[in-house]
Chain A
Amino acid sequence: MKFVANVDFNGGQLRPLDKSDVDAIVKLYQKQTLAGQGEKAIKEHAERMITLSVQMAATQRGLMWAIEVDGQMLGMLSLYDWQPTSLKTLMRLDAMPELTQQLQIDALRSGIDYLAQKYHLRNFSFQCLPQGEESVIEVIKCVGFDQQARLRDFRRLNQTEFSDVLVFNKILELTEEALLSGEQI
């Protein structure tokens, strides 16, 4: 059974991860960020991540898409902390330098549209570090995410240092009819 759908966007597609993505995942999961990552990925982590991505999607706890352009995996769009009863999820976007801002925007928009229609999700959030994630912040703002909070010292960096975390949200308004039919207004 297929738990992660292929979703086309202008210039590429979102598709399930597969075994051949290990090297790309290792490359993408080297920077320090928040959702779903405690340390830099190595090959074993990436292999586990591919297995986990199926389990997460099957149980609606999360989802991982490869962002593919011209047959190459250039990024990932992932959901963590997916809460079906609260219609919300935490997202994560990873991009290689070759994945342009416009492609990231289109990929993210298509992913959100699909999730709203298929699963009725309406509350999407990102958690970003104030430093080093400026490019992701630019992309999510273009897609309509607004900063709602700056959680002071929310993330521990080491024994004595902490970092603030920025919280961004995009809330979709869904009518009752839209919820039933899966349409977003």
Chain B
Amino acid sequence: MNWNLSTEHYYVRFAHEEDIPNIYALLGSKEVVKNHPKNPMVVEAQAMDEARRMVMQFEAKEAAFWLVEEKTSGKVIARISFQKFNWVNASAQLKVDIFSEFKTQSILAELIYAVTTLAYEDLSLHRLEWFLLNQDTCSIEAAKAFGFNHDGQLKNYFEFEGSWIDYQVFSLLKTDTAWQQAIKHNGLSTL
């Protein structure tokens, strides 16, 4: 099975040793991590640790991480991942870390379609979840446009810097009409 994907504009590929500065640049950006929410990285050693954890989680079949490299510039613009694989219930959580200037519906659609195809076709998953913060309106609008269903919220999911964080839960099932249409049209719909 080939985990490295290629879309029209991007290589969606696994990270390698030379990507430490790319991971650091991405996850050191406050704009990128604020909607998870997380604090940005402040030293490159954190990126090395993160890269190790990405490999370990993949080897343990707990998660899969891809870096997104723009074909024309070679710039790494995002990291996209499936986390918390639940092989019994055939589900996983989608997570997207992306520089704000690239956080558009068309780019998200291109990337999410690529990894979702792999999730449903190669990994035989049935349900993808996307946990989003209320204030991440760009991602929420994208989720709705792509046909994700708003399942509800998980209240006070965890505490971050003194505040309790509620997640809005969006899901896309393999059997959803939106996904069947996406296969037919070779891409997720955008508004």
Contacts and interface: CB of A to CB of B under 8 A. Distances in A.
A2 interface: no
Interface residues of B, number: 21
20 contacts: A86-B157, A86-B159, A88-B156, A122-B156, A123-B155, A123-B156, A147-B152, A148-B155, A151-B151, A153-B173, A154-B89, A154-B127, A155-B89, A156-B89, A162-B90, A162-B126, A162-B127, A167-B152, A167-B154, A169-B155
Nearest to B159: A86
B108 to A, nearest CB: 21
A75 to B, nearest CB: 27
Interface string A87-102: 1100000000000000
B96 to A, nearest CB: 20
A130 to B, nearest CB: 13
Given A86-B159, A149-B152, A156-B88, 11 more contacts: A88-B156, A122-B156, A123-B155, A149-B169, A150-B151, A151-B171, A153-B127, A156-B89, A156-B126, A162-B89, A167-B152
B29 interface: no
A171 interface: yes
Interface string B144-186: 0000010111111111000000000101010100000000000
Contacts of B189: none
Interface residues of A, number: 19
B158 A86 contact: yes
Interface in B120-152: 126-127, 129, 149, 151-152
A19 interface: no
B105 interface: no
